[in-house]
Amino acid sequence: MKKQYIIFAVVVAVLAVALVFVFTMLQQQKSANAELQELAELDKLEMEDQYRQFDMQYGELQKQLKNDSLIAQIEEERRHTQELLEELERTKATDAAEITRLKKEITSLRKVLQSYIMQVDSLNRLNETLVAENAEMKEQVTEANTQISSLRTQASTLKDKVEIAAQLDATGFWVSPQNKRGKDEKKAKNVKKLAFGFTIVKNVTAQNGERVVYARILKPDNTILGSKGTFSYENTQLEYTEKKYIDYNGEEQSVTMYSDIEEFIDGGTYKVFIFCDKQMIGQTSFTLK
């Protein structure tokens, strides 16, 4: 009978340890999922803000123009922006495919907005030329001066809005898992290094100079791969896997990064998020066996 009690006690102890282990794993998974959900929500909110900024800028541009044809073109683009914003507001942050599509739309919208900003700037320079060369045409000079004064009054506001158009975008992602011999590898247990890269698209409105690019790689369990430190994003601190300094000159630029694997990794889908100037500029994923 005493032996049976001992066996019973051992079984109860083993079950208790197993329950504690399962509870701990569930809590870790819940925490990782919550972090990914928070990142997705922040990204969606940022996109919504950009769409609203685009809409506001189109409204400001319309107020500055007298050209009915150009006003109509801007109004058409403004309606398109509003429709996309409504789609985004209806989209769940976890709908990766739809979020990716709407993020690509931002790139197109930004290019269109840049073209209209340049047209307004061109009109501004033209008016200044008319003031200098046609002083005798007093009525036209008065009208031109009024428009110039209006543009100058709003110059600081436009400068802030142009910063939105100047945000960088990354495309053309590729990832090459490699073994210790530097050869392509698909099995997780043999991967010793990750080589990955992307292209930062041309943006003539972006400020030239040094940038810091952060790569945040999440493992299949949504925990960070090889944390090297943290960076600021949306009033919080996120861990990053690798970072790289680049010298951006406004032209299309290819960026390649490397990350040594110094831990055991499992097979599954890995997610890569790229950040620059406190913005997420692109993302991709890859799978290991």
Q: Give the CA count within 13 Å in the CB-facing half-sphere of 231.
A: 21
What is the distance in angstroms between the CA of the first residue and the CA of the last residue of the chain? Answer: 51
Q: What is the pLDDT of residue 239?
A: 95
Q: What is the pLDDT, as a whole number, of residue 31?
A: 47
Residue 271 φ then ψ, to 5°: -110, 135
Distances (CA, A) of 96 to 46, 103, 144: 15, 10, 49
Provide the pLDDT for residue 52: 85
SS3 letters across the chain: CHHHHHHHHHHHHHHHHHHHHHHHHHHHHHHHHHHHHHHHHHHHHHHHHHHHHHHHHHHHHHHHCCCHHHHHHHHHHHHHHHHHHHHHHHCCCCCHHHHHHHHHHHHHHHHHHHHHHHHHHHHHHHHHHHHHHCCCCHHHHHHHHHHHHHHHHCHHHHHHHHHHHCCCCEEEEEEEEECCCCCECCCHHHCCEEEEEEEECCCCCCCCEEEEEEEEEECCCCCECCCCEEEEECCEEEEECEEEEEEECCCCEEEEEEEECCCCCCCEEEEEEEEECCEEEEEEEEEEC
pLDDT score recorded for residue 60: 80
Q: Using CA atoms, how far apart are residues 170 and 202, in angstroms rounded to an integer?
A: 10
**pLDDT attached to residue 138:** 63
Encoding tokens for residue 202?
Answer: 């041309």
Q: Which pLDDT belongs to residue 101?
A: 82
CA–CA separation, 143 and 131 (whole Å) = 10
Given a cut of 50, the residues of the chain with pLDDT beneath it are 21-23, 26, 28-29, 31-34, 36, 155
